[in-house]
Amino acid sequence: MKRLMIFAVLILAAAFSRLIPHPPNFTPLAAMALAGGVYLDKRFALLVPLLALLLTDAIIGFHNLMAFVYGSFLAIGLLGFWLRSHKKPVLVFGSALASSVLFFIVTNFGVWAMDGATLYPKTLAGLIECYTLAIPFFRNTLFGDVLYTGLLFGIFELVFRFVPTTEHAALNQPVANKERE
């Protein structure tokens, strides 16, 4: 039960980080979605990041790109399902990079498709312009995803190592970790 509480606090903290001042796209949300796919029970892994987004969007404000943003985080959570059985530092790092690229491609396509009438022409050149002008935001996304993924995965692994639990089912903990307790 202690682990579940620690994970819940970390995920809530990650979600509410959207509400404090930060550079654009420099948030732990992709790390939260990726870690959720790895560490949370499959019943909650995809739901938790989406609920965190919905809750904070209710405060920040809803927008016409929500389907693209939520869809990208859903895909990142699915990447976490794959990472669950391939959890090595280099693959965690690679997944953080892939999460950044996925978010960049999906959400900026949404900007072009949904806001394109006023911002970008509906042409290949307009799409390329949209992606090109988004590159400064991609740097923030990339740095935030790598930093927060390292932090969240590091904290979660420390919790697995040092905080005893009897609730393995709630966290879908791998069998190998049961021997450490």
Q: What is the pTM of this model?
A: 0.85
CA distances to 13, 34, 162 from 94, in Å: 24, 11, 26
Note the pLDDT tens digit of each residue in 60-83.
Answer: 999 999 999 999 999 999 999 999
Question: What is the pLDDT confidence band of residue 35, given thresholds at 50, 70 and 90?
Answer: very high
Between 51 and 102, the more confident residue is: 102
The two structure tokens encoding residue 93: 């790092």
Contact status, residue 2 vs residue 165, Cβ threshold 8 Å: yes
Between 57 and 49, the more confident residue is: 57
**DSSP per residue, 123-181:** SHHHHHHHHHHTHHHHHHHHHHHHHHHHHHHHHHHHHHHHS--S-HHHHT--HHHHTT-
